Amino acid sequence: MSALPRASELGLIACTVCGLVCRNVPGDARLDGDGVGDDMACPRCGTTLHRRKPNSYVRTWALLIAAFILYIPANVLPIMRTASLNDVDDNTIISGVVELWRAGSPNLAVIVFTASIVVPVLKFLALGTLLVSSQQGSGWARVQRAKLYRLVELIGYWSMLDVFVVALLTALVRFSVLSLVEPLPGVIFFGLTVVLTMLASMSFDPRLIWDGKDTDD
């Protein structure tokens, strides 16, 4: 046993909802995240206890892939139509950023670019990396990978930014004849992408990063 004992080695389980440390029968419970043999409920809050989130790899992969598939129409399709007397303009996420850069404020353009493009792409790459490296039981850069996961969780929901922008502009700009703003299907795909990536990062279990075969002292 290493200097820092792990709960799974001591036959302890921490409840994911209320944090209570519970003693469980030590022995054959498996570490691969499929939750086999864990059917104890937390005595304090009643949540089913798992050593690792159940089916963490399969669920996270499924949600991540689904999110990625939706991310394509989210970027290709326009998210917003602005129409005035003389022209109709369909904006995609990227063209919105470019327009904001040229006509509005470059600072905000950078913020929108970060929230709508950098954050989702970073989430795909980061979660993909975490899944592959953990499934291989890799001991590579564990502390950094653990930090990467916490970063993904922290910034995830900021991607909703552009969805709120479209919603607010739609409600505001309704000078019927002169101009109007309409949401287009891209924004629906984008909103769903954000929700799915959030669900994906929630279903990944960071403890799997440390479950590799080699010891880590």
Partner 1 sequence: MGMSSPEALLICEHCDTVYRRRTLTRGDVARCARCEAELERHHALSVNAMLALILTAMIVFVQANMWPIVTLGLSGQQSSTTLWGMILAMWREQAQVVSVLVAATLFFFPLLKMLLLGWLLWFARAGRRAPGFVRLMVILHYLGPWTMSEVFVLGALVAIVKAHTYFDVTPDPGIYAYAALTLLITIFAGVDLRRLWDDVPEGAA
Ranges within 177-216 binding partner 1 (CB under 8 A): 178-179, 182-183, 187-188, 191-192, 195, 198, 202, 206-207, 209-210, 216
Residue that has been written with the tokens 């004992």 in this structure: 5
Q: Compute CA 39 distance to the chain's CA centroid, rounded to the nearest angstrom.
A: 27
* Nearer to partner 1 (CB atom), residue 55 or residue 82: 82
* Nearer to partner 1 (CB atom), residue 126 or residue 169: 169
Q: Contact between 155 and partner 1 (CB under 8 A)?
A: no
- Which 77-116 positions form the footprint of partner 1 (CB under 8 A)? 84, 96, 99-100, 103-105, 108, 111-112, 115
For 132, half-sphere exposure in the C-beta direction (CA atoms, 13 angstrom radius) is: 5
How many other C-beta atoms are found inside a 10 Å radius of the C-beta of residue 124?
Answer: 18
Please provide residue 175's backbone torsions phi and psi, each rounded to the nearest 5 degrees. -80, 75
Q: Contact between 17 and partner 1 (CB under 8 A)?
A: yes
Residue 65 CB, nearest approach to partner 1 (Å): 20
* Nearer to partner 1 (CB atom), residue 124 or residue 156: 156
How many other C-beta atoms are found inside a 10 Å radius of the C-beta of residue 60?
Answer: 25
Output DSSP code: residue 23: E
Piece in contact with partner 1 (CB under 8 A), picked from 45-53, 58-66, 68-76, 123-131 = 45-53
